Amino acid sequence: MTSIFTRIINGELPSYKIQEDEHTFSILALDQVNLGHTLVIPKLEIDSFMDLPEPYYSAVFTNAKIIAQAIQKATQCPRVGTIIAGFEVPHFHYHLIPAWSIPDLNFARAQRKTPEEMTEIQNKIISFL
């Protein structure tokens, strides 16, 4: 069965796209831990980052660095925390979360934002890429 991320990448489901290239697709997380929470996803459907082959592996982390810098500028956060959890969807994805302190990385804080809030932060992040 195709993962929800593959369906998003294939254009079957809507998303707030941040970036796309040959090997990766980056979107705002549907449930935002903090506004600007972004997922960097390889276009190859692999469950664990440990199994992700090159060049997908390097592309995820190279793009994550670039996107994290844009998130930091867009949100004015002092840090962008990163997490590889892999429990929610069986398709490796790298979380980039704007953070001001350690508790800001708690997934229990995640909540849906309005379409207006999502579009505004999407455009702001993209403007810094």
The pTM of the full predicted model, rounded to 2 decimals, is 0.97
Residue 93 has pLDDT above 90, yes or no: yes
Q: How far is CA 70 from the centre of its chain?
A: 12
Residue 105 has pLDDT above 80, yes or no: yes
The whole-angstrom separation of Cα 105 and Cα 116 is: 23
80 - beta bridge partners?
A: 98
Q: Which of 30, 24, 44 is nearest to 91 (CA)?
A: 44
The 10s digit of each residue's pLDDT in 38-84 is 999 999 999 999 999 999 999 999 999 999 999 999 999 999 999 99
Domain range for 95: 4-127
Residue ranges with strand state E in the chain: 17-20, 24-28, 38-42, 79-83, 94-99
- The domain that contains 77 carries what CATH number? 3.30.428.10
For the chain, the domain total comes to 1
